[in-house]
């Protein structure tokens, strides 16, 4: 196993508030590592509304979810945070030396002086197929993400879903190329898609050229032969069920957030939210802070601008642990030579 990464601060969640937490810590000279279950930063802004406009970021009359994420990433660049994406923080425990041991689903380990939980509504996890036998076939013949596309080349594939992921992968495996499958059948419950119109057009073109098929229906069962899946049962809107032979089933039913392991860390929780004070936004565990949608306190509002304020005060709260012997003073970014140096704007 790789050695644990030592850091002043570990941030759980790369949503807008986790990203701005990097900035506020950076101003106080506290370096941070950031972990997110998603494969890109941005949290809800990227996952749920990348192209929708936001109108209530102070000083920014309008920007989309993606633009806000891009601007935050640019703003924190001087502090060079290290991102660990596509992995969930699963374990948090205090060490004898007062620091924290943190572990992720991919086996990355950290030893951190302070922890910032900016986990929003929880880690985004793929919505799973609730069918008998689906659990045991997961990662063998049923997949909720494509990690190695080459594994699917030359196979008979069924792809379920009506969003961009389902369409992009159906096209990828159906068209000429290194990863072309033996066959591709796209299954969606209706003949309408929540995906880029160009992808829908391309998919229909491939169907017309008989390079793939599209079936309207629901996946209603699995055909197995011994331990293996041999086919997928698809029930069409008129109630007719047919079996589509398949060696692999790729399911893209979207992502749903799960509080998951955070509930097991012994922190005070109220209605699935972490209870914090409003001076430092610290949880019931000294040195563990919670900012953004994940926390609760009297008057809490789940707004990005509130999360930004929380991140500023939490950073000052953490400075006590990172620099126990040093008083921390407020400095203005406009006038402080020390901050100019940190921001690289001298």
User: What does the binding site for ligand FAD look like in residue numbers (CB under 6 A)?
Assistant: 12-18, 35-38, 43-45, 48-49, 54, 56, 88-89, 118-124, 260-262, 292-293, 302-305, 307
166 vs 290 by CB, closer to ligand FAD: 290
Q: Measured from the CB of residue 261, what is the shortest distance to ligand FAD in angstroms? A: 6
Taking residue 291's Cβ as centre, other Cβ atoms within 10 Å add up to 32
123 vs 174 by CB, closer to ligand FAD: 123
Contact 279, 313 (CB under 8 A): yes
Residue nearest to ligand FAD (CB): 120
22 vs 219 by CB, closer to ligand FAD: 22
Query: Is 29 known as a binding-site position?
Result: no
49 vs 107 by CB, closer to ligand FAD: 49
Using CA atoms, how far residue 155 sits from 101, 111, 182, 245, 256, in Å, is 42, 43, 5, 11, 29
Q: Measured from the CB of residue 270, what is the shortest distance to ligand FAD in angstroms? A: 16
Query: Is 208 known as a binding-site position?
Result: no
Using CA atoms, how far residue 142 sits from 39, 107, 148, 209, 270, in Å, is 20, 23, 14, 27, 36
Query: Is 124 known as a binding-site position?
Result: yes
Query: Is 114 known as a binding-site position?
Result: no
Rounded distance between C-alpha atoms, residue 271 and residue 49, angstroms: 25
Q: Measured from the CB of residue 271, what is the shortest distance to ligand FAD in angstroms? A: 16
Q: How many CA atoms lie within 13 A of 61 on its CB side?
A: 0
Contact 256, 124 (CB under 8 A): yes
Query: Is 331 known as a binding-site position?
Result: no
Query: Is 49 known as a binding-site position?
Result: yes
Q: Measured from the CB of residue 179, what is the shortest distance to ligand FAD in angstroms? A: 28
Q: Measured from the CB of residue 128, what is the shortest distance to ligand FAD in angstroms? A: 16
Contact 46, 64 (CB under 8 A): no
272 vs 326 by CB, closer to ligand FAD: 272
Q: Measured from the CB of residue 215, what is the shortest distance to ligand FAD in angstroms? A: 31
Q: Measured from the CB of residue 292, what is the shortest distance to ligand FAD in angstroms? A: 2
48 vs 215 by CB, closer to ligand FAD: 48
Rounded distance between C-alpha atoms, residue 62 and residue 127, angstroms: 31
Rounded distance between C-alpha atoms, residue 342 and residue 323, angstroms: 17
Please identify which residue in the block is written with the tokens 């929540």: 194
Tell me whether strands 5-12 and 32-36 are parallel, antiparallel or unpaired.
parallel
Query: Is 36 known as a binding-site position?
Result: yes
- CA-based torsion, 326, 332, 335, 341: positive or negative: positive
18 vs 287 by CB, closer to ligand FAD: 18
Collapsing DSSP to helix, strand or coil, 282 comes out as strand
Q: How many CA atoms lie within 13 A of 333 on its CB side?
A: 10
Query: What residues are designated binding site?
Result: 36, 44, 49, 89, 124, 293, 334
Binding site as annotated, residues for FAD:
36, 44, 49, 89, 124, 293, 334
């Amino acid at each position: 196993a790789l050695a644990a990464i030592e850091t002043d601060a570990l941030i759980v969640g790369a949503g807008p508030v986790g990203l701005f937490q990097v900035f506020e810590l950076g101003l106080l000279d506290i370096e941070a590592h950031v972990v997110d279950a998603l494969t890109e930063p941005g949290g809800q802004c990227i996952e749920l509304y990348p192209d929708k406009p936001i109108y209530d970021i102070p000083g920014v009359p309008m920007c989309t979810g993606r633009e806000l994420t891009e601007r935050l990433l640019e703003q924190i660049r001087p502090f060079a945070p290290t991102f660990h994406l596509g992995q969930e923080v699963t374990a948090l425990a205090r060490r004898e030396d007062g620091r924290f041991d943190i572990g992720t689903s991919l086996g990355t380990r950290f030893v951190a002086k302070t922890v910032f939980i900016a986990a929003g509504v929880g880690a985004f996890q793929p919505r799973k197929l609730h069918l008998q036998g689906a659990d045991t076939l997961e990662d063998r013949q049923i997949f909720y993400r494509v990690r190695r596309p080459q594994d699917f080349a030359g196979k008979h594939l069924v792809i379920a879903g009506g969003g961009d992921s389902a369409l992009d992968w159906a096209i990828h495996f159906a068209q000429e190329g290194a990863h072309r499958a033996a066959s591709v059948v796209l299954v969606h419950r209706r003949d309408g898609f929540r995906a880029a119109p160009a992808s829908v057009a391309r998919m229909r073109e491939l169907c017309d050229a008989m390079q793939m098929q599209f079936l309207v229906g629901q996946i209603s069962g699995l055909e197995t032969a011994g331990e293996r899946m041999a086919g997928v049962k698809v029930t069409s809107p008129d109630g007719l069920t047919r079996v589509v032979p398949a060696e692999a089933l790729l399911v893209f039913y979207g992502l749903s957030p799960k509080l998951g392991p955070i509930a097991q860390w012994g922190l005070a929780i109220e209605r699935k939210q972490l209870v914090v004070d409003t001076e430092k936004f610290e949880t019931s565990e000294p040195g563990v802070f919670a900012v953004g949608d994940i926390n609760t306190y009297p008057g809490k509002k789940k707004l990005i601008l509130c999360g930004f304020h929380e991140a500023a005060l939490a950073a000052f709260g953490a400075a006590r642990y990172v620099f126990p012997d040093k008083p921390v003073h407020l400095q203005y970014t406009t006038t402080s030579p020390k901050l100019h140096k940190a921001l690289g704007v001298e």
